[in-house]
């Protein structure tokens, strides 16, 4: 449901308070790496033992620790989360021209690996309860494309989607789930870690993730044969021969022992990072409780996010006029209202990084000709009519009204109070 506006919200003191606020000397980042010191110990160990490439104790330990944390049987450390997703698509046997159902409101790294294997992504609209793949739209998609055998599901901003419903639908239609848990490492659904719900699942250690190696990723599976295939494919598919023998296409996708050293030093702090992210989310929620916005939602009965990014969604009736082109945006200042463009520009004035919500895949120039399914069926008619003023699909609406807020582990309550004051001032 759309949030109703609270006509009595008060921002009367914020403009006065802003007079005394100066831009931060050091930029407040959206989500930067939080290092603890142990990382350099393991990197130094790789250096001193001369295990600098794709074999070494750091890799072995990272795979072991992640298996224990997630409860999966096998973990394969790779160069990026995208590499992990690519090999997951390859394991799923996606063929050229074959349609694959994919989350729509996500980063394009969720979808691009399907195209690497020359598959044809079909995007499934978003539901409002968690901002993830809509099971109703997914069921409708199977009505339209009953032969689809692979579904790529992402957990947006660290929040688990409606996993039980999606799994039930996929089981009915004999479809594999590829789980993109790149943003949700450490999040749980009904007490079980994300990254364990797909036949093949992926996590990321990119520089802004909750655990980082500067880069890196991992493929998780309970299938030993699949894990062994990924180990082989990720090291250029070398055969067991005394020379370099290659019988199938391979990739340079294995994680280095140096990067694994950073990840190894980070992993003991996963729960601490999640607690810090949750505290940030709750401070924002309290700070915005009397202005016309809501936080990115989650199912508190069944899931515990990792709270990777805190976001707000402006109530529909509190949106000022905003127009976005392909690379630029314009807005009209309106009393008592605001929009993502105004908020992001105001934050930038104070040396604070924020970002728009991911632009849905069906709106991307690269994928505008691909299928897009909403609860009503083919969503392209609504998308194409939007320019003429018709209603938006869910993903487009969240993109239009949403903002990703600074969610860095190192942000202080005082810095967060300033951010809250700035955003509240936009609604005067």
Please identify every residue annotated as catalytic. Answer: 209
140-163: b or e for each residue (b if 16 or more CB lie within 10 Å)?
bbbeebeebbbbbbbbbbbbbbbb
**In 10 A of CB 219, how many CB atoms?**
29
**In 10 A of CB 295, how many CB atoms?**
17
Place of tokens 């990924």: 230
Report how far residue 329's alpha carbon sits from residue 185's, in angstroms, rounded to the nearest whole number.
33
Judge whether 407 and 277 are in contact, CB under 8 Å: yes
Judge whether 62 and 263 are in contact, CB under 8 Å: yes
In terms of C-beta density within 10 A (0-12 exposed, 13-18 middle, 19 or more buried), how is residue 22 classed?
exposed
Report how far residue 256's alpha carbon sits from residue 56's, in angstroms, rounded to the nearest whole number.
8
Share of the chain residues as helix, strand and coil, in percent rounded to the nearest 5: 40, 20, 45
For residue 254, list its beta bridge partners: 78
Report how far residue 111's alpha carbon sits from residue 232's, in angstroms, rounded to the nearest whole number.
23
Structure tokens of 264? 């190894």
Residues 6+ apart with CB under 8 A from 129: 162, 297, 299
Strand 74-78 to 200-204 pairing: unpaired
Q: What is the DSSP letter of 401?
A: H
**Which strands form 188-189's sheet, in the order they lie side by side?**
192-193, 188-189, 303-304
């Amino acid at each position: 449901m759309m949030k109703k506006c609270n006509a009595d919200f008060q921002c009367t003191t914020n403009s006065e308070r802003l007079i005394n606020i100066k831009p931060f000397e050091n930029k407040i980042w959206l989500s930067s790496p939080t290092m603890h010191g142990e990382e350099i110990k393991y990197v130094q160990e790789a250096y001193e033992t001369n295990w600098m490439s794709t074999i070494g104790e750091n890799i072995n330990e990272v795979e072991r620790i992640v298996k224990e944390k997630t409860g999966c049987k096998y973990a394969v450390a790779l160069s990026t989360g995208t590499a992990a997703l690519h090999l997951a698509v390859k394991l799923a046997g996606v063929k050229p021209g074959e349609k694959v159902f994919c989350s729509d409101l996500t980063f394009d790294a969720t979808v691009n690996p399907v195209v690497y294997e020359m598959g044809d992504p079909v995007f499934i609209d978003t539901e409002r309860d968690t901002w993830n793949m809509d099971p109703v739209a997914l069921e409708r998609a199977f009505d339209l494309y009953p032969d689809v055998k692979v579904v790529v599901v992402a957990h947006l901003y660290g929040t688990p989607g409606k996993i039980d419903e999606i799994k039930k639908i996929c089981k009915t239609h004999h479809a594999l789930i590829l789980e993109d848990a790149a943003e949700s490492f450490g999040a749980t659904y009904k007490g079980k870690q994300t990254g364990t719900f797909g036949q093949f699942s992926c996590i990321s250690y990119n520089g802004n993730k909750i655990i980082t190696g500067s880069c890196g990723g991992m493929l998780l599976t309970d299938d030993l044969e699949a894990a062994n295939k990924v180990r082989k494919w990720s090291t250029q598919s070398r055969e067991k021969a005394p020379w370099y023998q290659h019988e199938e296409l391979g990739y340079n996708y294995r994680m280095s022992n140096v990067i694994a050293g950073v990840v190894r030093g980070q992993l003991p702090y996963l729960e601490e990072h999640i607690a810090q992210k949750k505290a940030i989310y709750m401070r924002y929620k309290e700070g915005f409780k009397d202005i016309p916005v809501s936080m990115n939602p989650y199912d508190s009965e069944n899931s515990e996010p990792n709270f990777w990014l805190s976001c707000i969604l402006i109530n529909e009736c509190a949106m000022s006029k905003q127009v976005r082109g392909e690379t630029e945006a314009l807005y009209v200042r309106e009393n008592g209202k605001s929009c993502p463009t105004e908020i992001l520009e105001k934050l930038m004035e104070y040396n604070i990084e924020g970002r728009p919500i991911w632009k849905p895949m069906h709106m991307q120039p690269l994928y505008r000709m691909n299928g897009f399914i909403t609860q009503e069926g083919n969503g392209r008619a609504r998308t194409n009519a939007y320019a003429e003023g018709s209603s938006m699909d869910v993903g487009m609406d969240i993109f239009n009204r949403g903002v990703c807020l600074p969610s860095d582990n190192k942000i202080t309550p005082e810095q967060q109070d300033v951010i809250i004051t700035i955003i509240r001032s936009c609604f005067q």
